[in-house]
């Protein structure tokens, strides 16, 4: 049933969002038109401005509407540590987990030859310049434990060899509260090979 | 259908929770399909569907794009890291770019599996890659014929030759040009692709022979490996 082509267009547009199927898209469109037109205006304004103004931080490639993002501007961050992540979502996850106080570098992807994604697309020259220009002691390669994340970590560690900086990789482990029999074989064998001395 | 031995060459996101996958299979060669729901958290195939892991798969559909109905890993794949991992990505890109779809080469499947097993050992990487490359060329009727381009004469041991990939034959060249002597080429003609003393010549020749299959678009994984080699070379010895 199509009573309004514009309405159809709005429903289709909502379906761009992850997790939104035809039913929820229709509910969202009806909600804004029927109950909350002012809310709709706020979405339009926020979205318009975000799309127009948010770009990459010149230093760490995190999302920001300024030259430097808030993390790079924060003088309290630990200048000796740099954490390389694949996406802003990973950065947020690490920030929310707490405990890490150093700086970040966001790749916005991982090396993937078959998708045509190489060092240039990931800003690896910028990363090298960042390490060359600062006194980092450690670079944490927090790319995903996938084939591409692993390849990216290897490439970056080779790239940073000439600098006096220690590259580390996140440990693989059994999830907290998890049971061994349900952990997949790959994770389990990596967790086994990365076991630590037991101190109690 | 019966379960097919397979390796995942590449996967990319498809719709919200599915993946578009390119598989190298034993009986059907390169097969493209949709793996539904594998990106869903908790999906049982999610962990299994990784590159370099020996898989068993089943699919339905006769068209080019299949629907995968079953994905199981038979055992954990070898743990690849560092340069060995980049070599494995090179093998995937090479097969993906050069093999026509659903063109089965059982020898290629076997050599690919064997390559993954040896890639953790640095000294075995080059011979394993050369074996895969020559098997690929032979499957596509593109392997070098060890003959001189003028009149299909046998190669002279004391002459130097360049390779003409379109003619699949060799051309005598003057000193100073890139090429290989006839004596070395005669050894390669006997299938000595993995002999350590011939490594440089084998690499050069197979690269020349693969060039027409790849066209103008270079292999990204090869560029990655090369840039790391150049970086190493530029570094002061420690
Ligand atoms: Zn920043």
CA B123 to mean position of chain CA atoms = 18
Output the CATH code of domain A5-53: 1.10.8.420
A81-95, B17-31, B166-180, B196-210: which has the minimum mean pLDDT? B166-180
Q: What average pLDDT does the segment A94-108 reach?
A: 96
Helix count (H) and strand count (E) of chain A?
8, 6
Q: Look at residue B152 and give its three-state secondary structure.
A: coil
User: ipTM of this predicted complex?
Assistant: 0.88
Comparing A33-42, B60-69, B113-122, B129-138, which segment has the lowest mean pLDDT? B60-69
Interface contact flag, A147 B12, Cβ < 8 Å? no
* Cα–Cα distance, A128 to B229 (Å, whole number): 17
pLDDT for the residue numbered B1: 78
B173 touches chain A (CB under 8 A): no
Do A18 and B16 lie within an 8 Å CB cutoff? yes
More confident residue, A88 or A181: A88
Residue A58 has pLDDT above 70, yes or no: yes
The SS3 of residue B160 is strand
Q: What pLDDT digit, counting tens, does each position of B69-124 carry? A: 988 887 777 778 899 999 999 999 999 999 999 999 999 999 999 999 999 999 99
Residue B126 DSSP SS3: helix
Residues of B in Cβ contact (< 8 Å) with A155: 86, 224, 228
- Would the pLDDT of A38 be above 60? yes
Query: Which alpha helices (H) appear in chain B, and where do they start and end?
Result: 44-48, 82-98, 106-118, 122-139, 182-189, 199-214, 220-234
* Mean of the per-residue pLDDT values of chain B: 91
CB A124 within 8 A of CB A132: no
Give Cα separations from A47 to A21, A31, A55 (angstroms): 21, 18, 14
Of the candidates B6, B14, B56, B48, the residue with the CA atom closest to the CA atom of residue B31: B6
* Strand B65-73 with B29-35, pairing: parallel
- The domain spans of chain A are 5-53, 63-169
Q: Which of A147, A155, A184 is facing B224, going by the closest CB pair?
A: A155
What is the chain B residue with the closest CA to A186?
B76
Q: How far apart are CA B210 and CA B193, in angstroms?
A: 15
The whole-number pLDDT of residue A3 equals 84
| Dist CA B176 CA B168 (whole Å) | 22
Which of B52, B96, B224 lies closest to A147 in CB terms? B52
Measure the CA–CA gap between B80 and A147, rounded to whole angstroms: 8
> What pLDDT score was predicted for residue A1?
58
pLDDT band with cut points at 50, 70 and 90 for residue A37: very high
Residue A160 has pLDDT above 80, yes or no: yes
What is the rounded CA–CA span in Å between residue A37 and residue A32? 5
Instruction: Tell whether B20 is within 8 A of chain A (Cβ).
Output: no
User: Which of the residues A22, A131, A158 would you substitute to probe the B interface, choosing the one with the greatest number of B C-beta atoms within 10 Å?
Assistant: A158
Q: How far apart are CA B128 and CA B25, in angstroms?
A: 19
Residues of A near B (CB-CB distance < 8 A)? 18-19, 111, 113-119, 146-147, 150-151, 154-155, 158-159, 161-162, 184-187, 189-190, 193
* A150 contacts A141 by C-beta, under 8 angstroms: no
Nearest CA-CA partner of B108 in B72, B77, B143: B143
Name chain B contacts of A150, Cβ cutoff 8 Å.
Answer: 80-81, 85
User: At residue A60, does pLDDT exceed 70?
Assistant: yes
Would an 8 Å CB–CB cutoff place B216 in contact with chain A? Answer: no
pLDDT of residue A200: 61
Structure tokens that stand for B58 in this block: 């089943």
The residue ranges of every structural domain in chain B are 4-73, 82-139+220-234
pTM of the entire structure? 0.90
pLDDT of the residue at B185: 94
Considering only CA atoms, which of B145, B166, B163, B5 is closest in space to residue B75?
B5
Tokens 């220690």 belong to A166
- Please tell me the distance between residue A105's alpha carbon and the centre of ligand 1 in angstroms: 7
Instruction: Report the pLDDT value the prediction gives residue B238, as an integer from 0 to 100.
Output: 54
Neighbours of B177 (CB within 10 A): 10
Cα(A85) to centroid(ligand 1), Å: 12
Best CATH choice for the domain A63-169 from the list 3.40.50.300, 1.10.1200.10, 3.40.1360.10, 3.40.50.1110? 3.40.1360.10
Closest-CA residue of A relative to B225 is A155
pLDDT digits (tens, 9 = 90+) for B166-175: 999 999 998 7
CB B59 within 8 A of CB B43: no
Q: Assign a CATH topology to domain B4-73.
A: OB fold (Dihydrolipoamide Acetyltransferase, E2P) (2.40.50)
pLDDT digits (tens, 9 = 90+) for B186-231: 999 998 888 888 999 999 999 999 999 999 999 999 999 999 999 9
pLDDT score at B195: 86
Q: What is the pLDDT of residue A175?
A: 79
């Amino acid at each position: 049933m199509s009573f309004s082509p514009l309405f159809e267009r709005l429903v289709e547009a909502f379906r761009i969002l992850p997790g939104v199927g035809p039913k929820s898209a229709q509910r969202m469109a009806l909600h804004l038109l029927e109950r909350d037109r002012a809310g709709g205006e706020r979405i339009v304004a926020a979205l318009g401005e975000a799309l127009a103004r948010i770009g990459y931080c010149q230093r760490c490639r995190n999302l920001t509407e300024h030259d430097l993002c808030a993390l790079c501007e924060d003088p309290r961050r630990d200048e000796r540590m740099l954490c390389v992540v694949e996406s802003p979502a990973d950065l947020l996850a690490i920030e929310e987990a707490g405990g890490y106080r150093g700086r970040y570098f966001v790749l916005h992807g991982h090396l993937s030859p078959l998708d045509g994604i190489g060092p240039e697309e990931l800003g690896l020259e910028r990363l090298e310049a960042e390490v060359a220009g600062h006194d980092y002691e450690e670079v944490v390669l927090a790319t995903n434990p996938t084939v591409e994340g692993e390849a990216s970590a290897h490439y970056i560690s080779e790239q940073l060899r000439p600098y006096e900086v220690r590259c580390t990789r996140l440990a693989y482990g059994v999830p907290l509260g998890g049971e061994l029999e349900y952990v997949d074989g790959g994770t389990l064998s990596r967790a086994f090979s990365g076991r630590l001395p037991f101190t109690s | 259908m019966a379960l097919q031995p397979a390796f995942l060459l590449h996967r990319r996101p498809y719709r919200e929770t599915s993946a578009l996958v390119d598989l190298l299979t034993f009986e059907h060669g390169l097969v493209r399909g949709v793996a539904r729901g594998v990106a869903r958290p908790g999906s049982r195939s999610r962990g299994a569907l990784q590159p370099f892991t020996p898989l068993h798969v089943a699919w339905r559909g006769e068209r080019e794009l299949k629907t995968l109905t079953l994905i199981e890993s038979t055992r954990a794949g070898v743990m690849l890291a560092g340069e060995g991992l980049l070599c494995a990505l090179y093998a995937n890109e090479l097969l993906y770019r050069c093999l026509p779809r659903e063109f089965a080469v059982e020898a290629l499947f076997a050599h690919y599996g064997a390559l993954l097993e040896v890639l953790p050992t640095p000294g075995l990487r080059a011979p394993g890659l050369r074996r895969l490359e020559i098997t690929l060329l032979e499957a596509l009727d593109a392997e070098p014929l060890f003959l001189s381009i003028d009149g299909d004469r046998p190669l002279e041991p004391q002459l130097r030759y360049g390779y003409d990939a379109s003619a699949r034959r060799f051309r005598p060249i003057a000193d100073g040009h890139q090429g290989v002597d006839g004596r070395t080429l005669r050894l390669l003609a006997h299938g000595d692709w993995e002999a350590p003393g011939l490594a440089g010549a084998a690499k050069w020749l197979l690269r020349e022979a693969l060039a027409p299959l790849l066209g103008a678009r270079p292999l990204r994984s090869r560029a990655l490996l090369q840039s790391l080699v150049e970086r190493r070379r530029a570094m002061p010895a420690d």
